[in-house]
Amino acid sequence: MIAIIYDLEMTVTRRKGQISEIIEIGAVKLTHSEGKAVILDTFQTFVKPTLTSRITGDTTSFTGISQQDIIHADELPAALERFVAWIDTEEYALCSWGRDDKVQFTKECRLKKIPLRWLKNYTDVQQQISTMMGRPNKQQIGLKTALEELNLPFVGSHHRALDDAYNTALLYIHFADKISLHQNRTTDHAAYESEIYYKDTSNDDEDSLANSPFAALQRLKNDTE
C-alpha cells in the first residue's frame, strides 16, 4: 500500500465564529521496497479561500503564505481534484502528523459540499511514533522534537505544508518497519465530521502545539501584549 504523508496550512482566525480555510496542501508519496520506505514523489499547491477574500497579516506571520501566493490558486474543489489525481492509485493510506488536518479536511469539505470518498485509510503517525519514542500516557511528541531526538535535521520551514509533510515522511521512513497503516473509511470516523478536537496542552511540546491555528492565534495574541 502507498503511504501519502500530507500536511495542511490554514488561515488563522481571531474572531469567534470565523472558520479556518485550507490555503496550502503538501504531500509526500512513499512506497515500501525491500523492507524500507522510499519517497516516490511530492505534491504542493496553494488553495484560494472562498469564505474570505484576503490573507490576513496573522496568517502570513504564522505560515509565511501571502495574498500573492493564493491570488491565482485553485479553490479547494479543483485543488483536491489535482491532489487525488496525483495520488493515482486506489491502494493508499492517508497519513498525517496528528488528527487536526483530517478534522480540517472533513469539516471544510462538508461545508463546501465536496465529496469525501477519497479520504480513507487514515493513519495518525504522530500517535504511533510518540508511543515508539517512549511518550507515556498517550502524550504526543512534537514534530521538531521527534526529529531532534533522532538527530535528524528539520528540512525547510516549519508551518509550510510540503516541508512539514517531508519532515513527517523522514520520521515515517525511520520507523517504517513498525508503523501500521490502517484500513478505514471516512464514515468509520463520524466524530471527525462533526467535532473540533481540543486537547489538553499541558504536556505538549511547543512545536506540536503550534501546528494548529488555534495555537497560532494564542501565540500571536501573546506577541502583541
166-181: pLDDT as tens digits: 999 999 999 999 999 9
pLDDT at residue 108, rounded to an integer: 97
Lowest mean pLDDT among 70-84, 137-151, 185-199, 203-217: 203-217
pLDDT given at position 195: 37
The reported pLDDT for the residue numbered 189 is: 56
Q: How confident is the model at residue 200 (pLDDT cuts 50, 70, 90)?
A: very low
For 22-57, the pLDDT digits (tens) are 999 999 999 998 889 999 999 999 999 999 989 999
Determine how β-strand 92-96 pairs with β-strand 123-124: parallel
- Name every residue whose Cβ is closer than 8 Å to that of residue 123 and which is 6 or more positions away in sequence: 3, 93, 94, 95, 96, 179, 180, 181, 182
State the pLDDT at residue 138.
85
Give the pLDDT confidence score for residue 203 in this predicted structure: 36
pLDDT band at 222 (very low <50, low <70, confident <90, very high): very low
For the segment 122-151, what is each residue's pLDDT rounded down to a tens digit? 999 999 999 999 999 889 999 999 999 999
- Residues 111, 79 contacting (CB under 8 angstroms): no
Task: Give the C-alpha separation, 130 to 58, whole Å.
Answer: 30
Q: Measured between alpha carbons, how far is 81 from 139 in angstroms, rounded to an integer?
A: 35
Q: Is residue 201 pLDDT above 80, yes or no?
A: no
Give the H/E segment covering residue 95.
strand 92-96
Whether residue 224 has pLDDT greater than 80:
no
Kind and range of the H or E run holding 136: none
pTM, two decimals, is: 0.83
Residue 192: per-residue pLDDT:
44
Give the mean pLDDT of the chain: 87
In the chain, % of residues over pLDDT 70: 83
Domain definitions of the chain by residue range? 2-214
Looking at residue 93, what is its pLDDT? Answer: 98
The more confidently predicted of residues 129 and 209 is: 129
| CATH entry, 2-214, from 3.30.420.10, 3.40.50.720, 4.10.490.10, 3.30.70.380 | 3.30.420.10
Picking from 177, 168, 186, the residue whose alpha carbon sits closest to that of residue 95 is 168
Written as one letter, the residue type at 157 is S
Residue among 2, 6, 223, 220 at smallest CA distance from 100:
6
* pLDDT at site 45: 99
Query: What confidence tens digit (pLDDT) does each residue in 14-24 have?
Result: 888 889 999 99
Say if residues 62 and 159 touch (Cβ distance below 8 Å): yes
Report how far apart the first and last C-alpha atoms of the chain are (Å, whole number). Answer: 49
Please, are residues 42 and 156 in contact by the beta-carbon 8 Å criterion? no
